[in-house]
């Protein structure tokens, strides 16, 4: 059976990236490899839309999240953390592990924070060192108002720290224009690579804070990585394969153009939402992000079975819900190497499985709604 | 030009491992993938020769080294650290970063510690929580008396912590029989995988200490990884590719048999040493380990040029010396997917380059010495 991967990470890896990763192993300290690292960093700057330093880590995205706390905040320091999903909670877990004093703004899962709430809390606590949130919250498929937060936070001494692990390269984002100080990302989402690489872009304002931070760390000691930028080396033996794959991914993204990619995923998202509504289903997040869509599972339908049947009977790996919304939503990714006809295919499979599970709807309604949007708006 | 990789990590990756890593991406939370993780952990237990828990991290080996300190030692705790090379120094750097009080045993680079010195220091400091050393010290190609250290340390409450990053799967090692409490390893050496995966095997005695440790950590929080062992999952989105490749590597190692592999690398090492001596060169480390050999560069020869010419003109990537011995040694690996005729080839290239650099020796003497050993002792 043919397999389709439409989960919000890992996403499908293009064949030509896999091919380059399957070439014979090379040493990581040769001039030829250092040149590749330098090019990869330049390419990442384009994708982050930044002139800032970009660091590469061999780890999951969570390793970069840890670094964005352990390099910035000392025990007892205050940080505003916006929690509206599993990854907002992760910022909180890491902060608490490192003895940080978190000021939580808890928002309903699947919604966006009101920037005015952040502004108010920041005024009441001018000693807050960082505001931590997500560009897109993978667990709910919501998008946060990063640009508006940048306007607010940049007027203060506080840093704006964004987890763009699932958003980078898919959801509209301009690090420098939006005045973001630290942005972390992962390889296995919009960048179309396998999991195992993580990235952090770091502003000068952030480096000043990092230089003063006393928190113990070693593998994720960002100052050590920064020092190695001059020679395009990794302080450790990093993932050679990911660097090679990343260069191909960067070429693919540059060829298409970042703006065009943002547009493409926006249209894919619109089509998924239209299909869901045409099938009588409700979109979970408001606002819904452009890189993945969460759809509520109707009460009469078994949400766990839906995801399982899609995978085991039809070959489609999508994602269910996590933690409090386990079984209550399903999530379809539309980022990275996912295009229009992948979405058509998964909607078809979804209709078939919903039908099997007893949900009533007009046969083909989802497909029709999606196709209508694609025919009008999708750019090939 | 054909390329030959004979550096002590990354080592060559077998074609069939690269192939499996180039298969289409799969999701990391499916039953099929969890089964693979379970098999990988079982296979690693064989390679570590342990019944202990084995944890898998998506990071360089240094990430596992950090965890072996940050999960074990609180600030102010004492640890004996044996320093006789760059990676012994790394244990020290990490310990100091985490506020540990290191008791250093500094040995001459390229030599082995005298177990009696460890025993004495341990008696004087019964509150030492861990003894940290290497199985093989990659920077010098020496081997440490781990078995003897196990006899000494196991009689106390102290833990024996071994960095076997370059040694595992190549240098003789039996974790449980040798009474080692924590052993860390990396993917890109004897395990024949690309860099990006690290491992830690952890004894029950060690878990008791880890459970009491209060050092802040998140990505390398070993307790979190241990909890996930029951479901064969990673707390994060780990490197799917490495798990897939690891299964093939394990099969290859099992097919050959660990004892046979130890034997093979021992013979390769013997041949490299014999070749070096036949060329009038001196082996650097005493005792020299079985997974790589460091050879002193004669004073009249430019050591940096030797490594560079081998790479750029003849396609052979070996390693030079690091830090105080930069330019003074060269290192040839004989671990992982390196076999007899790779060694014959690199000795041939070495003779040619030594000749170019003005070193006088009997043409073919290195090749002859190596071949003589292979003909008698190498098992195909």
Tens digit of each residue's pLDDT (9 = 90 or more) over B153-198: 999 999 999 999 999 999 999 999 999 999 999 999 999 999 999 9
Q: Which residues contact A170 (CB under 8 A, 6 or more apart)?
A: A136, A189, A190, A261, A262, A265, A290, A291, A334, A335, A336
- Beta strands at A101-106 and A78-83: parallel, antiparallel or unpaired: parallel
pLDDT of res. A289: 98
Pick B241's closest partner by Cβ from A58, A196, A311: A196
For chain B, report the end-to-end CA distance as a whole number of angstroms: 28
The confidence score (pLDDT) of residue A380 equals 75
Query: Does the pLDDT at position B288 exceed 90?
Result: yes
Q: Which pLDDT does position B380 carry in this prediction?
A: 75
Give per-residue pLDDT as tens, A222-239.
999 999 999 999 999 999
Mean pLDDT along residues B64-87? 98
* Owner of token pair 């071994």: B162
Q: Which of B142, B367, B337, B168 has its CA nearest to residue B271?
A: B367
Choose among A216, A217, A240: nearest Cβ to B194.
A240
pLDDT (mean) for B96-111: 98
Question: In this predicted structure, what is the pLDDT of residue A202?
Answer: 98
Q: How far apart are the first and last CA of chain A?
A: 28
The reply to whether residue B237 touches residue A30, judged by beta carbons under 8 angstroms, is: no
Instruction: Report the distance separating Cα B208 and Cα B95, nearest Å.
Output: 20
Residue B350 C-beta-side C-alpha neighbours within 13 Å: 31
Which residues on B lie below 8 Å from A87 (Cβ)? none
Residue A132 neighbours by CB under 8 Å, 6+ apart: A68, A69, A79, A80, A81, A82, A91, A95, A161, A163
A95-147 pLDDT, tens digit per residue, is: 999 999 999 999 999 999 999 999 999 999 999 999 999 999 999 999 999 99
Pairing of strands B159-163, B182-186: parallel
Q: What pLDDT shows up at residue A169?
A: 97
Is A214 a residue whose pLDDT tops 90?
yes
Q: The pTM is what?
A: 0.97
Rounded to 5 degrees, φ, ψ at A229 are -60, -35
Q: How confident is the model at residue A250 (pLDDT cuts 50, 70, 90)?
A: very high
Which positions 183-222 of A are in contact with B (Cβ < 8 Å)? Answer: 186, 188, 194-196, 215-221
Residue A379 vs residue A158, higher pLDDT: A158
**B23/A contact by beta carbon, under 8 A:** yes
Q: What average pLDDT is seen over chain B?
A: 97
Cross-strand pairs, A133: A162
Q: Are the C-beta atoms of A186 and A9 separated by less than 8 Å?
A: yes
Cβ-Cβ pairs closer than 8 A, A with B, add up to 174
* DSSP letter (8 states) at residue B92: H
CB contact A22 to B (< 8 Å): yes
- Residues A23 and A46: their CA atoms lie apart, in Å, by 26
Q: How far off is chain B from A305, nearest CA to CA, in Å?
A: 14
- Write the DSSP assignment of B171-213 as a string of letters: S---TTTTT-SEEEEESSSTT-PPSS-EEEEE-HHHHHHHHH-
Residues 6+ apart with CB under 8 A from A153: A118, A122, A131, A159, A160, A179, A181
Q: What is the mean pLDDT of residues A42-68?
A: 98
Angle at B169 between CA B322 and CA A243, to 5 degrees: 55
pLDDT mean across residues, chain A = 97
Q: Tell me, what's the ipTM?
A: 0.95
Give yes or no for residue B247 having a pLDDT over 90: yes
Q: How close, in Å, is residue A50 to chain B by CA atoms?
A: 26
Q: Exposed e or buried b for every residue in B239-272, given b needs 16+ CB within 10 A?
A: bbbbbbbbbbbbebbeeeebeebbbbbbbbbbbb
Q: Is A126 helix (H, G, I), strand (E, B) or coil?
A: coil
Using CB atoms within 10 A of its CB, is residue A81 exposed (0-12), middle (13-18) or buried (19+)?
buried
* pLDDT at residue B307 is higher than 80: yes
Identify the structural domains of chain A with CATH numbers, from first to last. 4-8+258-377 (3.90.1150.10), 15-255 (3.40.640.10)
Pick left, alpha or beta for residue B179 (phi over 0 → left; psi -120 to 50 → alpha; otherwise beta): left
d(CA A21, CA A380): 27
The reply to whether residue B196 touches residue A239, judged by beta carbons under 8 angstroms, is yes
**Do the Cβ atoms of B97 and A60 come within 8 Å?**
no
- B149 contacts B131 by C-beta, under 8 angstroms: yes
Measured in angstroms, the CA of B376 and the nearest CA of chain A are apart by: 31
pLDDT tens, A289-327? 999 999 999 999 999 999 999 999 999 999 999 999 999
CA A199 to chain centre: 11
pLDDT one-digit tens code per residue, A88-105: 999 999 999 999 999 999
Whether pLDDT at B61 is above 80: yes
Q: State which H helix or E strand residue B376 sits in.
A: helix B365-377
């Amino acid at each position: 059976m043919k397999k389709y991967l439409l989960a919000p990470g890992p996403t499908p890896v293009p064949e030509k990236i896999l091919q380059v990763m399957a070439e014979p192993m090379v040493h990581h300290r040769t001039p030829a490899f250092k040149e590749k690292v330098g090019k990869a960093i330049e390419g990442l700057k384009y994708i982050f839309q930044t002139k800032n330093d970009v660091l590469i880590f061999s780890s999951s995205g969570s390793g970069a999240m840890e670094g964005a706390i352990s390099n910035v905040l000392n025990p007892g320091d205050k940080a505003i953390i916006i929690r509206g999903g599993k990854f907002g909670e992760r910022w909180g877990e890491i902060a608490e592990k490192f003895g940080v004093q978190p000021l939580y703004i808890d928002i309903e899962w699947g919604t966006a924070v009101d920037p005015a709430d952040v502004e108010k809390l920041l005024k009441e606590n001018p000693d807050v060192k960082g505001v931590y949130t997500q560009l897109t919250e993978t667990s709910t498929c919501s998008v946060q108002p990063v640009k508006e937060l940048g306007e607010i936070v940049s007027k203060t001494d506080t840093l704006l720290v964004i987890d763009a692990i699932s958003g980078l390269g898919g959801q509209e984002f301009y690090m420098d224009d939006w005045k973001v100080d630290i942005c972390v990302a992962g390889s296995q989402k919009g960048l179309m690579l396998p999991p195992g690489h993580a990235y952090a872009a770091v502003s000068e304002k952030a480096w000043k804070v990092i230089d003063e931070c006393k928190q113990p760390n070693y593998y994720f000691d960002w100052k050590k990585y920064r020092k190695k930028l001059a020679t395009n080396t990794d302080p450790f033996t990093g993932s050679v394969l990911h660097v090679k794959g990343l260069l191909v991914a960067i070429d693919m993204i540059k060829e298409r153009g970042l703006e065009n990619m943002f547009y493409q995923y926006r249209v894919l998202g619109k089509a998924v939402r239209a299909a869901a509504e045409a099938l009588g289903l409700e979109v979970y997040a408001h606002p819904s992000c452009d890189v993945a869509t969460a759809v509520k599972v109707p009460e009469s339908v078994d949400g766990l079975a839906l995801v399982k049947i899609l995978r085991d009977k039809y070959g489609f790996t999508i994602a269910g819900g996590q933690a409090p919304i386990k079984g209550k939503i399903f999530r379809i990714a539309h980022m990275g190497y996912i295009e229009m006809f992948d979405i058509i295919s998964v909607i078809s499979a979804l209709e078939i499985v919903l039908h099997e599970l007893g949900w009533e709807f007009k046969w083909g309604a989802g497909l029709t709604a999606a196709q209508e949007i694609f025919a009008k708006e999708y750019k090939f």
